[in-house]
Structure 1
């Protein structure tokens, strides 16, 4: 059986998700996308986890999509099996119930930057570069590079990366708001762990609800965020408990409007 290439380690309230294909600069293939979705499930299902860290093994964060994985696909396969799958998985990552911190230990280019953009906080090492080089290969960003990145960082910065092929150093990315902090080479994971401890010390329910509220304010995932907030609120009420009890007992519910 093949070794897993998306690793999840849990230490108390902190989960660390590591993209572990260093020999390919942590470039993704379809199997890795599916593994990342399962890693998201692992984090979601563990109530003890309050914050997650995302990083890469070796010297790379992620080179994005492995060209060998998609280069020979038919157009319909490329659209459905590659682009749409990656989009769904990255959306799953972006909407984790817990805050997500990306420790950028290496370059974040193309799909690697789209992966980093799914995080709530990005901590970059000083030597890295950030960019979206897809148009140089005759293609376009497909894992929310023109959508989530525009919502989070602004259209003009994304235009420069997509249309002009510009890449930015960690310092430049920090000045543009693409990353939240720059640290020395080899220290991004430790910095992310320190920030994760800070996050984990705060109220977990407040963190989850605040993350949903921020998503709504930023125009991301409005429908599901609103429904999640409403469902959490209603689930705490006496009316829900009474409704479930009445259903089980096959009687008419006596709602009292208790919050």
Structure 2
């Protein structure tokens, strides 16, 4: 059904796997579109009460696909991409399931925004989490501003966005960005065990509480997503973004000028 994802359902649990392991599950337009469609379809599936998210291969997701951004033959449509990204964040936040992110390897940029949009985040000790849009002259998208602020508050969110700091699982837990840390190699086992505990709980009441708490924030998330889309489209045209991308590809330090 999907080219870049795998969705499996078993009883009351669904597992959504990002499946571009050859590209560290970086998100091209196809994956963004498929994620939006997939998550929106789960909004209608009330038989599923827990959704597990993971990445195939050696990472959760390296974020947006930078190679796709540089492809001149098939130009990256930023306006279309931002529409998909906004749909992903909104669907994820309003799902009638408890969502669990299982993080191993990298969860960066848009991948990290998705992780933070989940109800429960389980990360392996040496996983690498970063809101690293700043390194290529961009702002967080996928609700990154909203989800970070919800987790750590505005002052700390600004520091993390501005620094693009790379955090290991343990450091991320100390900041409140991660709920549980698992030993390396045991993230998925920990996540599935957590899902089983939820199924043995009065989970309908838990989901109802989630929906009550999220309901008053939906408008704010929508507003932030609109602002992220407008700003990201503008940032894509800046000299700093072009320099950031060039430096990333050439593996050199960027020389930003604030333009």
TM range (shorter): 0.7 to 0.9
Aligned residue in 2 for 1:99: 98
CA contact (8 A) 1:15 1:43 kept: no
Counterpart check, 1:22 vs 2:21: yes
Cα deviation, 1:99-136, whole Å, max 9, x if unaligned, reads 10000022111111101011000000011121111112
Aligned residue in 2 for 1:130: 129
Pairing 1:48-59 to 2, within 5 Å after superposition: 48-59=47-58
CA contact (8 A) 1:215 1:222 kept: no
**What TM-score do you get using the length of structure 2 for normalisation?**
0.77
CA RMSD of aligned residues (A): 2.4
Shift of 1:42: 4.2
- 2:77 and 2:48 mapped to 1: Cα distance? 36
Counterpart of 2:206 in 1: which secondary structure?
helix
Shift of 1:223: 8.8
Aligned residue in 2 for 1:201: 200
CA contact (8 A) 2:103 2:124 kept: yes
Indicate which of 212, 217, 221 corresponds to 1:220: 217
CA contact (8 A) 2:63 2:111 kept: yes
- 1:212 and 1:22 mapped to 2: Cα distance? 33
- 1:71 and 1:95 mapped to 2: Cα distance? 33
Give 5+ residue unaligned stretches, structure 1: 225-259
Kindly tell me the number of residue pairs found equivalent between the two proteins: 220
- 1:208 and 1:199 mapped to 2: Cα distance? 11
- 1:189 and 1:220 mapped to 2: Cα distance? 30
Pairing 1:68-217 to 2, within 5 Å after superposition: 68-71=67-70, 77-78=77-78, 80-216=79-215
Shift of 1:45: 3.5
**What TM-score do you get using the length of structure 1 for normalisation?**
0.77
Higher relative contact order (CA 8 A, sep 6+): 2
Larger radius of gyration: 1
- 1:43 and 1:135 mapped to 2: Cα distance? 32
Cα deviation, 1:139-160, whole Å, max 9, x if unaligned, reads 1112212222212322233222
